[in-house]
C-alpha cells in the first residue's frame, strides 16, 4: 500500500530532497568511468578508418541517457551489457585519418553533466577530452615493462684493462683520475673521476638483472666521450673503448700539471685507433645479443642537441688532429668538412675559432647547427637508424634534452618527425623516449616521440606526496607532504596530457642521474653534497617510505624504471652524489626483496601493465586506487604516516562486489615485508583494512 504525504506536511529537509529528486534525479558520480584502455576503447589504438568502439560505465539503472559527442555529433548510446553494479553504454567512432576528440554527455532527469579525463564535470573543457590519433601506437613489449637505468661507469667493472688512467688526458682544465677503491664516494668536483664500470661489467651482471625481473635496460650514453657521464659525445659511430675493448694501447700519460691534450698520446691512441673502436662495437653487439637471449630489451641514450668539444667534428682539444688520420675539425679550420655543423659568430677567427654556440653557453658542449647543415641533419637521422638496425638491433632511444634541439620550436618538431620516420622505418618496434620537463603533448601526437621521462605525471607528484621534497632535495614543502588530494589532482591533470599509447610506456622513475636519490629524499632534508657532505644523504632515511614509493611505481600506469642501486638502498644528493658506485656485497636485502616481489606481481597481472586505474580514497597521508582489466581486479593502499590507520575502501567502484573476497599479495612496512596469505571480505561494497605505519598493501580478488 502506498501512502502519500501532502507536500505541505513534509519537513524542510524532505522538501529539499524531493525537489532535487524531481528536478535532477540522483546521479551516482563514483560509478561513472571511462578511459582509453582496452577496457573502454576497442581497439585502444585504432588505425585510420578502423571502426572503434568506445564505452562508458554508469551505475546500474542510474541514468536516463548517455550521448557520445565528437566531431560536432551527438550520438545516443545504447546499453551494451549490465552486471550487478553497472550499465555499460557503447557506441562506434570511425576516426578516418585525422585525430578525433570525444567526451560523453549524461542525463538524469533535468540534470545534464559530462565525462572526460577530468571525470564528471558540469562544463566541457576540451583540454581534458579523450583523443583518438589514428595509426599511433607504441610497441607492445614496452607497455608497462620494467626498465633498469645503468650509469655505466658506476655499475660494475668487468674489464680492468680498459680503465681510464690517472693523467690519461685533461678534462675541463685538469687531468682525469682513476678511482681504485670501488666504494669511494664521489667528490664534490667529481667530473674527472672514473670508476671503471663498462659493458663487460653489465654482461657479467645479467644474471642479477634477470633474477630481479628486469625487462628493459636503459643505458646512459656509451659512445666515445671524455666524461664519466658521456653527455658530450666525441664520436656517434663507436662505443667508447673505455667501456668496450682496448686492443692497441700505446702512447704516454700526461704529467699531473698538464692543461692541454696535445700530448695525450695514450688517450688519442685508445679512442681513435680503428681496431679499438671496432672491437668495442663488437662487444656491444655481443651484449645486446645476450640480453635479447634472456628476453631483455636494450635502449640507448642519444645526445643530439649538442656534442662535446672533444668531438671529431669540432676537435677543439686536437685529439683527431694529432692522430693524423682524420679531417680537420671546424674549430681548427674554416675549410673543415664539418664547418657547417656549428654556428660560428666570428667569421674571421680561424684557426682555433672559439666563437661558436654552446648549449646554455658552455663551450665544452657545442650546439649542433641543424638548420645550417643538411649534411648534419641527415647524418644524425642515419645514426638514429644505424643502432636500431642489424647488426646491433637496439630496441630504442632515450633522447637527451630533446625539446632544445634546433633554434626554433617549429624546426624542432620537424626534425623529430623526420627522426621518427628514420628510426621506425628501420625498426618499427623501436621505442622513442624523450627527456622533457613540462607538458609533452605537442610532441606525442603520433608523429614524433612515443613518450617521455615522466616527471610531471609520476616522479614529482610521488615525491611531493611521500616526502614533501623537491626532486633535487632543494626544497621541502610540508603542505604537499601527505597531501592526498593534491597528489590525485596533479596526477589527473598531468596524466590527461598523455594519449594512452604514450602513457603506457612512459618512463616512471623515482630517481635518476640528474636528481637526488629517492631514498635520500625520505629524510626530509634540504641539501647537496657541497653543503651537507655525502654521509648526510644517508642520515634519517625511511625504508618504509621507499617501499611505499616502489609499490606505487610497480602498480601505476607506465613503465617503472629503476635507477641502478635504488633497489639495494643506494643514497645520494643530486649530481654528482647520485652517481655512487653500485654497492656489490653491501646490498640492503630487505629493499631488494621488496623490489623483486613487487616486480614479480607487476609482471604476473596484466591489469598492472595495461589495465584501468581509478582513485578510490584520499585522506591526509593515505591514498588508495584500483587497477583492473577483464582478468583481475587489484587494490593498492598506502599509509604514509607514523600511526596505525583504519580505512574503509569503496572497492565496488572497480567492480568488486559483496560476493568477492580479496587476498593480500604483499604488505611492506618500515621493518620488512610480508607475502603471507591474508583474506579480506567486502561488506556493502566496502573493504575495511588496518594499515601499519609507513606501509603499502597490494591485494587482488581471490579465485576460489
Catalytic site residues? 400, 435
pLDDT average, residue stretch 542-546: 98
Q: Of 132, 129, 131, which is closest to residue 50 (Cα–Cα)?
A: 132
Query: pLDDT > 70: what percent of the chain?
Result: 96
- Above 90 in pLDDT, residue 8? no
Q: Is 532 exposed, middle or buried (0-12, 13-18, 19+ CB in 10 A)?
A: middle
Secondary structure of residue 564 in the 3-state scheme:
coil
Is there a contact between 310 and 234 (Cβ–Cβ < 8 Å)? yes
Residue indicated by cell numbers 539503472: 61
Q: What is the DSSP secondary-structure string of 286-355? A: HHHHHHHHTT-EEEEEE--SB--TTSTTT-TT-TTTTTTSSPPPTTT-TT-TTGGGS-BS-TT--SS---
- Which residues contact residue 387 at a Cβ distance below 8 angstroms, ignoring those fewer than 6 apart? 300, 394, 397
Q: Which three cell numbers stand for residue 106?
A: 549524461
Q: Is 25 exposed, middle or buried (0-12, 13-18, 19+ CB in 10 A)?
A: middle
- Which residues contact residue 97 at a Cβ distance below 8 angstroms, ignoring those fewer than 6 apart? 48, 49, 134, 135
Is there a contact between 161 and 198 (Cβ–Cβ < 8 Å)? no
398-411 pLDDT per residue, tens: 999 999 999 999 99
pLDDT at residue 614, as a whole number: 98
Secondary structure of residue 184 in the 3-state scheme:
coil
**Sorting pLDDT into bands at 50, 70 and 90, what band is 4?**
very low
- Which residues contact residue 489 at a Cβ distance below 8 angstroms, ignoring those fewer than 6 apart? none
Q: Of 507, 519, 435, 521, which is closest to residue 470 (Cα–Cα)?
A: 521
Separation CA 475–CA 468 (nearest Å) = 8
pLDDT average, residue stretch 65-87: 96
Which residues are registered as beta bridge partners of 666?
698
- Above 50 in pLDDT, residue 21? no
What letter would DSSP give residue 107? E
- Above 90 in pLDDT, residue 590? yes
Which residues are registered as beta bridge partners of 131?
101
What letter would DSSP give residue 97? S
**Sorting pLDDT into bands at 50, 70 and 90, what band is 659?**
confident
Separation CA 94–CA 100 (nearest Å) = 9
First to last CA, the chain: 44
C-alpha neighbours within 13 Å on the C-beta side of residue 84: 11
pLDDT at residue 5, as a whole number: 52
Secondary structure of residue 85 in the 3-state scheme:
coil
533-543 pLDDT per residue, tens: 999 999 999 99
438 vs 13, more confident: 438
- Above 80 in pLDDT, residue 25? no
- Above 80 in pLDDT, residue 124? yes
90 φ/ψ sector (left φ>0, alpha ψ -120 to 50, else beta): beta
pLDDT at residue 100, as a whole number: 97
Is there a contact between 449 and 432 (Cβ–Cβ < 8 Å)? yes
- Above 60 in pLDDT, residue 193? yes
pLDDT at residue 324, as a whole number: 84
Separation CA 631–CA 607 (nearest Å) = 7
681-700 pLDDT per residue, tens: 999 999 999 999 999 999 99
Residue indicated by cell numbers 613503465: 559
pLDDT at residue 3, as a whole number: 43
Q: What is the DSSP secondary-structure string of 536-547? A: GGGTT--HHHHH
Largest Cα separation within the chain, whole Å, is 105
pLDDT at residue 518, as a whole number: 98
**Cis bond leading into 391, ω under 30°?**
yes
- Above 80 in pLDDT, residue 281? yes
Q: Which three cell numbers stand for residue 363?
A: 663551450
437-491 pLDDT per residue, tens: 999 999 999 999 999 999 999 999 999 999 999 999 999 999 999 999 999 999 9
φ, ψ of residue 98 to 5 degrees: the values are -95, 155
Angle at 520 between CA 515 and CA 526, to 5 degrees: 80
Is there a contact between 48 and 96 (Cβ–Cβ < 8 Å)? yes
Q: Which three cell numbers stand for residue 632?
A: 583481475
C-alpha neighbours within 13 Å on the C-beta side of residue 638: 28
pTM, full prediction: 0.95
Please report which helix (H) or strand (E) contains residue 492, including its range. helix 484-495
Amino acid at each position: 500500500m502506498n501512502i502519500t504525504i501532502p507536500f505541505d506536511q513534509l519537513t524542510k529537509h524532505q522538501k529539499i530532497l524531493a525537489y532535487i529528486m524531481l528536478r535532477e534525479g540522483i546521479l551516482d558520480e563514483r560509478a561513472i568511468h571511462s578511459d582509453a584502455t582496452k577496457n573502454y576503447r576497442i581497439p585502444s589504438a585504432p588505425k585510420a578508418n578502423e571502426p572503434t568502439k568506445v564505452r562508458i560505465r554508469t551505475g546500474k539503472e542510474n541514468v536516463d541517457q548517455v550521448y557520445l559527442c565528437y566531431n560536432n555529433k551527438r550520438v545516443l548510446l545504447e546499453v551494451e551489457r549490465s552486471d550487478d553494479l553497472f550499465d555499460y553504454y557503447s557506441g562506434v567512432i570511425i576516426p578516418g585519418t585525422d585525430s578525433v576528440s570525444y567526451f560523453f554527455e549524461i542525463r538524469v532527469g533535468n540534470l545534464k553533466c559530462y565525462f572526460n579525463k577530468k571525470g564528471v564535470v558540469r562544463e566541457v573543457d576540451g583540454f581534458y577530452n579523450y583523443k583518438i590519433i589514428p595509426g599511433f601506437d607504441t610497441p607492445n613489449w614496452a607497455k608497462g615493462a620494467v626498465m633498469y637505468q645503468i650509469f655505466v661507469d658506476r655499475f660494475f667493472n668487468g674489464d680492468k684493462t680498459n680503465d681510464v688512467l690517472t693523467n690519461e688526458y685533461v678534462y675541463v682544465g685538469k687531468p682525469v683520475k682513476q678511482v681504485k677503491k670501488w666504494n669511494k664516494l664521489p667528490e664534490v668536483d667529481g667530473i674527472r673521476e672514473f670508476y671503471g664500470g663498462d659493458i663487460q661489467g653489465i654482461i657479467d651482471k645479467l644474471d642479477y638483472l634477470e633474477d630481479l625481473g628486469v625487462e628493459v635496460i636503459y643505458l646512459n650514453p656509451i659512445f666515445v666521450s671524455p666524461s664519466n657521464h658521456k653527455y658530450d659525445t666525441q664520436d656517434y659511430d663507436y662505443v667508447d673503448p673505455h667501456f668496450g675493448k682496448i686492443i692497441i694501447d700505446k702512447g704516454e700519460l700526461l704529467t699531473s700539471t698538464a692543461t692541454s691534450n696535445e700530448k695525450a698520446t695514450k688517450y688519442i691512441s685508445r679512442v681513435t685507433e680503428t681496431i679499438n673502436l671496432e672491437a668495442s662495437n663488437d662487444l656491444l653487439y655481443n651484449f645486446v645479443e645476450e640480453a635479447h637471449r634472456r628476453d631483455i630489451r636494450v635502449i640507448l641514450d642519444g645526445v643530439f642537441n649538442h656534442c662535446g668539444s672533444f668531438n671529431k667534428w669540432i676537435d677543439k682539444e686536437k685529439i683527431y688532429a694529432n692522430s693524423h688520420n682524420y679531417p680537420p675539425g671546424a674549430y681548427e679550420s674554416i675549410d673543415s668538412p664539418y664547418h657547417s655543423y656549428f654556428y660560428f659568430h666570428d667569421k674571421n677567427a680561424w684557426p682555433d675559432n672559439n666563437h661558436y654556440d654552446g648549449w646554455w653557453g658552455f663551450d665544452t658542449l657545442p650546439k649542433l647547427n641543424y638548420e645550417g647543415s643538411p649534411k648534419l641533419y641527415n647524418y644524425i637521422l642515419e645514426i638514429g637508424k644505424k643502432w636500431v638496425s642489424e647488426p646491433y638491433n637496439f630496441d630504442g632511444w632515450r633522447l637527451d634534452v630533446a625539446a632544445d634541439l634546433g633554434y626554433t620550436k617549429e624546426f624542432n618538431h620537424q626534425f623529430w618527425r623526420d627522426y621518427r620516420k628514420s628510426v621506425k622505418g628501420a625498426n618499427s618496434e623501436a621505442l622513442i623516449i624523450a627527456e622533457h620537463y613540462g607538458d609533452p603533448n605537442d610532441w606525442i601526437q603520433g608523429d614524433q616521440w612515443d613518450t617521455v621521462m615522466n616527471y610531471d605525471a609520476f616522479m614529482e607528484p610521488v615525491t611531493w606526496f611521500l616526502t614533501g621534497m623537491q626532486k633535487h632535495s632543494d626544497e621541502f614543502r610540508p603542505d604537499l607532504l601527505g597531501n592526498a588530494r593534491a597528489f590525485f589532482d596533479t596526477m589527473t591533470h598531468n596524466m590527461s596530457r598523455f594519449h594512452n599509447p604514450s602513457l603506457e610506456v612512459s618512463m616512471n622513475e623515482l630517481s635518476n642521474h640528474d636528481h637526488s636519490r629517492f631514498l635520500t629524499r625520505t629524510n626530509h632534508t634540504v641539501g647537496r653534497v657541497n653543503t651537507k657532505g655525502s654521509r648526510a644523504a644517508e642520515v634519517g632515511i625511511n625504508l618504509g617510505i621507499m617501499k611505499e614509493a616502489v609499490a606505487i611505481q610497480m602498480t601505476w600506469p607506465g613503465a617503472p624504471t629503476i635507477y641502478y642501486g635504488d633497489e639495494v638502498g643506494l643514497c645520494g644528493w643530486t649530481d654528482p652524489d647520485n652517481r655512487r658506485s653500485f654497492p656489490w656485497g653491501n646490498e640492503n636485502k630487505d629493499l631488494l626483496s621488496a623490489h623483486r616481489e613487487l616486480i614479480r606481481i607487476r609482471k604476473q597481472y596484466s591489469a598492472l601493465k595495461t589495465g584501468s586505474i581509478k582513485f578510490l580514497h584520499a585522506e591526509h597521508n593515505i591514498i588508495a586506487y584500483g587497477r583492473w582489466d577483464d582478468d583481475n581486479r587489484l587494490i593498492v593502499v598506502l599509509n604514509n604516516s607514523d600511526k596505525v590507520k583504519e580505512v574503509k575502501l569503496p572497492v565496488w567502484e572497480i567492480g568488486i562486489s559483496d560476493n568477492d573476497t580479496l587476498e593480500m599479495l604483499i604488505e611492506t612496512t618500515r621493518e620488512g615485508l610480508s607475502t603471507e596469505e591474508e583474506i579480506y571480505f567486502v561488506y556493502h561494497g566496502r573493504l575495511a583494512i588496518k594499515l601499519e605505519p609507513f606501509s603499502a598493501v597490494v591485494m587482488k580478488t581471490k579465485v576460489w
